[in-house]
């Protein structure tokens, strides 16, 4: 498992979550259960962009990495329950583990694989989580 020290160091490096206690707590809860190898793969060159509801934009400056880097963007309603928040974080880290973006030929399998990672780490998509997500999903036409 990842050490508390390495998890705290990673979270402290994520400037977009510095004011969001609940988000930092959810990140820590998820990251602490990841096996060390998964933790290293998820966090390598990862930048989290956390936008809370009501924020229209956020500029982040990133150093030029020597390798590919990943960005996780989170849009978090103020009333999001903690189990949903932890599931979303774990699910997005599941996508990081996939090492690439979705392709049309992936269909629903790409999402299913991210759910499998979240479940493996102890954050399954329960019916309550599913209900919350479905009631807050916004289908963009842009």
Instruction: Give the model's pLDDT for residue 25.
Output: 96
With cut-offs at 50, 70 and 90, classify the pLDDT of residue 65. low
Q: Where does the chain show beta strands of DSSP type E?
A: 46-52, 70-76
C-alpha to C-alpha distance for 40 and 20, rounded to whole angstroms: 23
Q: How confident is the model at residue 140 (pLDDT cuts 50, 70, 90)?
A: very low
**Is residue 26 helix, strand or coil?**
helix
Q: Is the entire prediction scored with pTM above 0.85?
A: no
Return left, alpha or beta for 6; rule: phi > 0 is left, psi -120 to 50 is alpha, else beta: alpha
């Amino acid at each position: 498992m990842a050490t508390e020290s390495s998890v705290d160091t990673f979270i402290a490096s994520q400037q977009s979550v510095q004011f969001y206690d609940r988000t930092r707590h959810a990140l820590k809860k998820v990251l602490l259960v990841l096996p060390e190898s998964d933790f290293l793969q998820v966090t390598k060159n990862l930048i989290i962009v956390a936008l809370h509801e009501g924020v229209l934009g956020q500029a982040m400056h990133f150093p030029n990495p020597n390798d590919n880097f990943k960005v996780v963007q989170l849009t978090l309603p103020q009333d999001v329950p903690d189990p949903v928040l932890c599931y979303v974080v774990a699910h997005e880290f599941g996508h990081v583990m996939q090492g690439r973006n979705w392709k049309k030929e992936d269909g629903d399998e790409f999402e299913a694989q991210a759910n499998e990672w979240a479940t493996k780490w102890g954050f399954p998509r329960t019916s309550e989580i599913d209900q919350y997500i479905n009631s807050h999903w916004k289908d963009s036409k842009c």
